Amino acid sequence: MDASAPQFEGASSLSGDASCPSGFYSMKELRPHIERPQEDPEGPGADGNPFITGIMTHVELTEKQEGLSRNGFNQFASDRISFHRSLGVDTRPPECIEKKFSRCPRLPTTSVIIVFHNEAWSTLLRTIFSVLHTSPAVLLKEIILVDDASTQDHLKAPLEQYVQSLEIVRVLRQRERKGLIAAKLLGAREAGGEVLAFLDSHCECFYGWLEPLLERLIQEPTTVVSPSIAVINKDNLQFIKPVASALTHTRGKFDWILSFGWETIPEEERVKRKDETYPVRTPAIAGGLFAIYKQFFEHIGTYDDKMEFWGGENIEMSFRVWLCGGRLEIIPCSVVGHIFRTKSPHSFPKGMDVIIINQVRLAEVWMDDYRKIFYNRNKKAAAFEAEKSYGDISERLKLKEKLHCKNFSWYLENIYPEFFVPDLNPVLFGSLKSIATKTCLDIGKKNPGGKSVILFICHNMGINQYFEYTSHQELRHNIDKQLCLHATIEPEPVRVELCNFQRGGTVPAPQQMWSFILVSQQIYLLHSALFNKCLMVEYGNIIMKSCDPANDYQHWSFI
């Protein structure tokens, strides 16, 4: 698209001024008068290195443990690393390092918005200082901290007092806990910059992160750009830098229970890349770290303000932006680190079901008939949908109409054609219950190599216990990958393998083709080598045994 002809109303003002200075933006233009902690090149964690823990006293061990359970990352280590640490040598690809950003047309001014709830002092301050240290002053209009009703004392008056000297940093308060979506909306409303750049409250920006995002926005004002997200190790705070020689191109994706994930870009996209300054088109964004023109954010419908606390808004935004005329991209030259934790340390005042309700809202608004694939796999979501207890979505439907957004099938065909679309109406589906043991087939929480299947108490939620009997006679568990129940020769336990029918095969693998006899409740294999063998539970294992219609342990039903 031509940058001089942006696609939404009011966007023509975004193409930059006619008069602008010559030359390039320079990192030396950071605000010199802002007091900053001095970087200690020998200090713990310097150059992005891991924090090394020596022998710890009992008191230190207690502090470390408490920090871990409060934050889900090693606050003990974070507290001992300077607020201002260097991240060491620039390991990005040479074309990223050499790239210069012209002042004409000028890049837009940016409001960085950081939302937080009970964030540790050291991680929050390191996020702020890393923005101040890596963003040219002319581009950084302000940093807005939005407090989602934190209860920890350090985030009250002491935070305001501390950031006063930083001039361009201010704190907005959400008095009542509403979650990150409302907090981001508050920050966005108050922002004075042309661009909004959102960050989580435990990030560190790598040298030169901002300019490539802004440059892309002036080229394509209807894009939402994400940096490439580096991992800050939650246990030792090591900043794991991208290594140019081992660059894998990762993009964002989702699965059929609407969880966000990552995947390598398809080979045909990889070979088309000329160099690393080119953006990576992505079906979905992680949601925490992205930049967007404020005007475009408003044009495209900000967020669904009835989504609460956490979750779903990133997938909602991903679908909406693509369907309603925008684009989502990852800019590899822009690198921002984030502390990934395994579990949220925050309480959810209304319980974890809010996440599912957020997902139902997005499915109802954007997924058309395909939402059924989600509901089949998440029973709680299906129940919320059936009871219509997901709130009013009429405003979002109006928005969809106003923006003339496309159908979800367009998204699947054009934006994410690699994504497998399961049957909307499989022959049988639900949980596969063993009649004798009253337990259900489950792929296990961790499914090493995608192989194990276990029996687990039937929870009737779908998710890990979701299986469907397809029109090709497979028994598939297909939320993310397409996994098929795969017969083995006794005593080897039955497992799941990638479905043959999906990997380019035109028929299921013989070990993946089952006959389900509803009358006798038996499941047997059509494969001749396992002729007359039935799926059976023996001592808690699932194996193939000679069929015996009278044996309860060979009886199964979909519930």
Binding mask 406-445 for Mn ion (x = CB under 5 A): ----------------------------------------
> Tokens 């398809």 belong to which residue?
266
Q: Are 225 and 213 in contact (CB under 8 A)?
A: yes
CB nearer to ligand LR7: give 116 or 366: 116
Residue 227 near ligand LR7 by CB under 6 A = no
Helix (H, G, I), strand (E, B) or coil at 445: coil
Residue of closest CB approach to ligand LR7 = 288
Q: At 495, which helix (H) or strand (E)? A: strand 495-498
User: Which of the choices Mn ion, ligand LR7, none does residue 117 contact, using the CB cut-off of 5 to 8 A by kind?
Assistant: ligand LR7
Task: Quote the CA–CA distance of 57 and 121 in Å, as a whole number.
Answer: 23
Taking only Cα atoms into account, the Rg of the chain, rounded to an integer number of angstroms, comes to 26
Centre a 10 Å sphere on the Cβ of residue 123 and count the other Cβ atoms it contains: 24
Residue 341 Cβ vs Mn ion, minimum distance, rounded to whole Å: 7
Among 85, 117, 294, 380, binds ligand LR7 (CB under 6 A): 117
Q: Where are the beta strands (DSSP E) in 149-284?
A: 169-174, 195-199, 203-205, 223-232, 239-240, 250-254, 260-264, 280-281
Residues 481 and 263: their CA atoms lie apart, in Å, by 11
Nearest to 323 by CA among 246, 240, 224, 248: 224
Closer of 139 and 183 to ligand LR7 (Cβ):
183
Q: 458 with 465: CB under 8 angstroms?
A: yes
Q: Hey, what are 7's tokens?
A: 């696609």
212 binds ligand LR7 (CB under 6 A): no
Residue 310: CB minimum distance to ligand LR7, A: 4
288 or 332, CB closer to ligand LR7?
288
Residue 250 near ligand LR7 by CB under 6 A: no
Q: Closer to Mn ion by CB, 81 or 537: give it.
A: 81
Which letter does DSSP use for residue 352 in this model? T
Judged by CB under 6 A, which of 119, 204, 316, 468 binds ligand LR7? 119
Over the window 323 to 342, marking each residue x when it contacts ligand LR7 by CB under 6 A and - when it does not, the resulting string is: ---------------x-x--
Chain centroid offset of residue 390 CA: 22
Report the distance separating Cα 539 and Cα 51, nearest Å: 47
Closer to ligand LR7 by CB, 261 or 417: give it: 261
Is the Cβ–Cβ distance between 371 and 356 less than 8 Å?
no
| Residue 313 contact, options ligand LR7, Mn ion, none, Cβ 5-8 Å cut-off depending on partner type | ligand LR7
| DSSP state string for 368-430 | GGGHHHHHHHBHHHHHHHHTT-S---HHHHHHHHHTTPPPHHHIIIII-TTS----SS-SEEE
When binding is defined by CB under 6 A, the residue of 311, 332, 337, 430 that contacts ligand LR7 is 311
Considering the complex, what minimum distance in angstroms separates the CB of residue 534 from ligand LR7?
A: 43
Q: Which of 36, 154, 249, 346 binds ligand LR7 (CB under 6 A)?
A: 346
Comparison of 31 and 173: residue with beta carbon closer to ligand LR7 = 173
Q: Which does 115 bind (CB under 5 to 8 A by kind): ligand LR7, Mn ion, none?
A: ligand LR7
For residues 280 to 309, the per-residue mask of contacts with ligand LR7, x marking binding by CB under 6 A and - elsewhere, is: ------xxxx-------------------x
The whole-angstrom separation of Cα 290 and Cα 317 is 11
Among 313, 329, 468, 474, contact with ligand LR7 (rule: CB under 6 A): 313
Binds ligand LR7 (CB under 6 A): choice among 229, 367, 382, 523: 229
* Closer of 147 and 200 to Mn ion (Cβ): 200
CA distances from 353 to 131, 289, 357, 375 (A): 34, 25, 6, 14
Residue with the closest Cβ to Mn ion?
200
- Choose the contact partner of 484 out of ligand LR7, Mn ion, none; CB within 5 to 8 A by kind: none
> Smallest distance from the beta carbon of 198 to Mn ion, in angstroms?
11
* Distance in angstroms (rounded) separating the CA atoms of residues 453 and 540: 11
Q: Can you read off the two tokens belonging to residue 219?
A: 């080229």
119 binds Mn ion (CB under 5 A): no
- Closest contact distance (angstroms) between CB of 287 and ligand LR7 is 3
The site partner of 478 among Mn ion, ligand LR7, none (C-beta below 5 to 8 Å per kind) is none
Closest distance of CB 96 from ligand LR7, Å: 20
Amino acid identity of residue 559, one-letter, is: I
* Closer of 113 and 494 to ligand LR7 (Cβ): 113
Which residue, 341 or 350, has its beta carbon nearer to Mn ion? 341
Q: Between 185 and 509, whose beta carbon lies closer to ligand LR7? A: 185
Please report, as residue ranges, which positions from 184 to 213 form the binding site for Mn ion (by CB under 5 A). Answer: 200
| Contact positions with ligand LR7 (CB under 6 A) in 142-201 | 148, 179-180, 183, 200-201
- Closest by CA to 542, choosing from 431, 452, 438, is 452
Burial class (CB in 10 A: 0-12, 13-18, 19+), 357: buried
One-letter amino acid of 464: N
Task: Compare residues 208 and 287 and give the one whose CB is closer to ligand LR7.
Answer: 287
Query: Which residues fall within 8 angstroms of residue 483, CB to CB, at 6 or more apart?
Result: 443, 450, 476, 477, 496, 497, 498, 499
Q: Binding to ligand LR7 by residue 314, rule CB under 6 A?
A: yes
Backbone angles phi, psi at 372, to 5 degrees: -60, -35
Which residues make up the interface to ligand LR7 (CB under 6 A)? Answer: 115-117, 119, 148, 179-180, 183, 200-201, 229, 260, 286-289, 309-311, 313-314, 338, 340, 344, 346
